[in-house]
Structure formats: C-alpha cells, structure tokens
Amino acid sequence: MPDRAFSPVISLLTVAAVWDAHLGAQLRDLGLTTRKYGLLAHIEATPGISFSELARRSQITVQSAHTAVQTLVADGLVADATKHAGAASDLRVTERGSEVLQAAEQRLAALDAGLASGAPALATALEGLHERPFGLASE
C-alpha cells in the first residue's frame, strides 16, 4: 500500500468519530443519542422553534427532524403543542427533558475537560468552529 500524505480532514473525522462514540456511550442510559441531545438542546434554547429551523440548525432534513422529535415526545422529553397538522409547531422541553438535558450537559462537560487536558491545542483550535465553519464553498 502506498504511503498517503497526511490529511487533516481524515484526522479530524477520525477524532470526531472517537469522541462521538464516547459521547454516545455517556448519553445512552439517558435515552439520548448525539443527534437527540443536539435537538433537545436546540429546543430548550429556542422554545417554540419550528421544525424547519430545528432541521436547519441540526443540518438534517425536516422529515428527519419530525421523526426524531416524535421519539423525544414519546420519551416524555419534549412537548409538541401544535394544535393541528399544518399549524406552526410549538415545541418545548418538558421538565423531564430539562433534567435529562442537564445530566447530559454535565457528562459532556467531563468529556470536554478530558479532551482539553489531553489535547489543549486541539481544543483551543476548535473553539468557535461549529458556529463559524470555514473552508467550504457557500451553498
């Protein structure tokens, strides 16, 4: 097999997969996945958020957002006060959802501390990148 040049993209994807697996393991007993955690956090940050906005923020399709939110509702983590099909959504985190989210955030903070202590330069370099990605052509 020929030697391949170092790829920062492949390295970042590998590191991301490893840390995603660690986060997934920490969230599992709370009934969350990484995606569900993100959706729950977005709903708590913006009560009444629309499915379209939730999908945009999560970089998933609206259909995927609907499916995931249905699961969060069934699990008692989110309430959907939408009155009828076609009406604007009114998604809100339930009290149980807030408790689960708080526990998830504590576990995430411990993982963040582990990454920051193990790779401080990487942690610093990553700061702010999820809010302002770079290097990709505008879509």
**Average pLDDT value for the chain:** 89
Q: What is the pLDDT of residues 3-58, one digit of tens each?
A: 889 998 899 899 999 999 999 999 999 999 999 999 999 999 999 898 899 999 99
Contact 38, 58 (CB under 8 A): yes
CA distance 25 to 122: 22
Tokens 């991301």 sit on residue: 16
- pTM of the predicted protein model: 0.83
**Confidence check: pLDDT of 135 > 80:** no
3 state SS of 125: helix
Residue 93's beta-bridge partner residues? Answer: 78
DSSP 19-59: HHHHHHHHHGGGT--HHHHHHHHHHHHSTT--HHHHHHHHT
The confidence score (pLDDT) of residue 84 equals 60
Residues forming a β-bridge with 92: 79
Instruction: Taking the CA atoms of 32, 105, 58 and 25 in sequence, report the sign of the dihedral they define.
Output: negative
Amino acid at 114: G
Residue 89: DSSP 8-state: P
Q: Which has more pLDDT, 122 or 40? A: 40
Q: What is the pLDDT of residue 2?
A: 75
